[in-house]
Amino acid sequence: MKMNPQTQSNQLDRELKSTARRLFVFTGTWVASTALLTFGPRMWWEYDVLTTVLVIALNLLAGAMMLFAFFRHLKSMDELQRQTHLEAMALTLGITMIFTVVYGSLPTVQLLEDAHPTNILFVMGITYILAVARIWMNRTSE
């Protein structure tokens, strides 16, 4: 049985919304487990090794689930959306790589006392969001 274009479009929209919800849940879980890993040892369990190792395992599991949810979400997109995100990811990878090298060398050249690797996540996140928005706006305005 062949679907009409409207039915097919509605089905794609439902699938995209479903995968976006899953991605949101798993991303929130990963962020929460990262916060637990960052603050928990000092604030709640006084650096107990077993508890810390279990929270690390939880964080890795949550990260893997988030990654799989992102891949499912990417697969549910249409070709234009997928291409936009892939180009934004490529741009983000390049910018992050360049920034990481420069940022990591700042303590060596004594322009910064200490470089915190987590700061790179802010650059990565902001770059990705801005790249997706810019590429999408350029594509849809044509």
Final residue of a structural domain among 33, 50, 77: 77
Final residue of a structural domain among 77, 97, 128: 77
Q: What domain range is 21 assigned to?
A: 1-77
Query: For residue 23, which amino acid is it?
Result: L
Task: Find the length of the chain.
Answer: 142
Q: Are residues 8 and 62 in the same domain?
A: yes
| Residue located via tokens 């879980």 | 29
Q: Are residues 125 and 70 in the same domain?
A: no
Q: Report the pLDDT value the prediction gives residue 4, as an integer from 0 to 100.
A: 73
Please give the Cα distance from 48 to 40 (Å, whole number). Answer: 10
Pair 88, 135: CB distance under 8 Å: yes
Query: For residue 96, which amino acid is it?
Result: T
Q: Report the pLDDT value the prediction gives residue 9, as an integer from 0 to 100.
A: 76
Please give the Cα distance from 43 to 36 (Å, whole number). Answer: 9
Q: Which residues of the chain have pLDDT under 50?
A: none
Q: Report the pLDDT value the prediction gives residue 120, as an integer from 0 to 100.
A: 92
Q: Are residues 126 and 113 in the same domain?
A: yes
Q: Report the pLDDT value the prediction gives residue 11, as an integer from 0 to 100.
A: 85
pTM metric for this prediction: 0.80
Q: Are residues 42 and 68 in the same domain?
A: yes
Please give the Cα distance from 1 to 36 (Å, whole number). Answer: 50
Pair 56, 2: CB distance under 8 Å: no
Cα dihedral 108→112→117→123 (10° resolution): -120
Closest C-alpha to 27, from 71, 70, 66, 72: 66
Q: Are residues 13 and 57 in the same domain?
A: yes
Final residue of a structural domain among 25, 55, 77: 77
Pair 66, 23: CB distance under 8 Å: yes
Q: Report the pLDDT value the prediction gives residue 127, as an integer from 0 to 100.
A: 97
Number of domains in the chain: 2
Count of beta carbons in the 10 Å neighbourhood of residue 8: 11
Q: Report the pLDDT value the prediction gives residue 2, as an integer from 0 to 100.
A: 65
